[in-house]
Chains A and B, each alone.
Chain A
């Protein structure tokens, strides 16, 4: 079946550092891809999405490009802030909004 693999965390960075969180997927067909963010004690929020190959999703300084040739959707940000500390989930759609989630990557940003 479809699956999503994320890099294990935690990822620990200093403020203003460059962030990359790797995500690869296995899917039949052409899924949509998503990054969700979960702040402590809260539910998940959609961060960005891409619906077809070569699309770039972006929001709040975060970006991810749908790479069909490498089946990847890596999350990047040029300069992280302490407020970006959260758990980030990569996900793909599996028909009728059934999302398959990765295991999540915790990001810790220190001042």
Chain B
């Protein structure tokens, strides 16, 4: 089945540690996105990538980093510089320029900083 796979589903981290969240898609989509979801705040865009080896900052990129070395993969690293990293992280993809805006989402990764 085609879709987006995020791992791990749950992750615990000590303060001061970096952690990487995995996102893989087999939909052959050009664009990929990372969103952060906090209670009462909806979804906020962290980073997005329209093509391989290129990505742009979203609205809340500070303390995060990404890479896009392969079309199907878009990992997100939450660094120790992120002041409040506990959240639900959602990865998404879309077809690209010909698409009318529909995003396909993974099931999310919940990060808790202890």
Contact = CB atoms under 8 A, between A and B. Distances in A.
| Chains A and B form a bound pair | yes
Interface of A: 32, 34, 41-46, 49, 51, 89, 93, 96-99, 101-104
Interface of B: 4, 6, 31, 35, 40-45, 48, 50, 58, 90, 92, 94, 96-97, 99-103, 105-108
Contact of A93 (B92, B101, B107): B101
Contacts of A93: 100-101
Query: Across chains A and B, which 9 residue pairs bring their CB atoms closest together, nearest first?
Result: A43-B105, A93-B101, A103-B42, A101-B43, A101-B42, A44-B105, A97-B94, A32-B101, A43-B107
A49 B100 CA distance: 9
A80 B101 CA distance: 27
Contact of A46 (B4, B44, B103): B103
Q: Kindly name the residue among A44, A49, A93, A97 whose own CB sees the greatest number of chain B CB atoms within 10 A.
A: A97
Nearest to B104: A46
A29 B61 CA distance: 26
Nearest to A89: B42
Nearest to A51: B100
A99 B101 contact: yes
A97 B42 contact: no
B97 A96 contact: yes
Contacts of B108: 42-43
Contact of A104 (B42, B99, B102): B42
A80 B53 CA distance: 45
Contacts of A45: 105
Contact of A96 (B6, B50, B105): B50
26 contacts: A32-B100, A42-B107, A43-B4, A43-B92, A43-B105, A43-B106, A43-B108, A44-B103, A44-B105, A46-B102, A46-B103, A49-B100, A51-B100, A89-B42, A93-B101, A96-B50, A97-B31, A97-B99, A98-B45, A98-B58, A99-B103, A101-B35, A101-B43, A103-B40, A103-B41, A103-B42
Nearest to A31: B101
A17 B4 CA distance: 34
Nearest to A1: B59
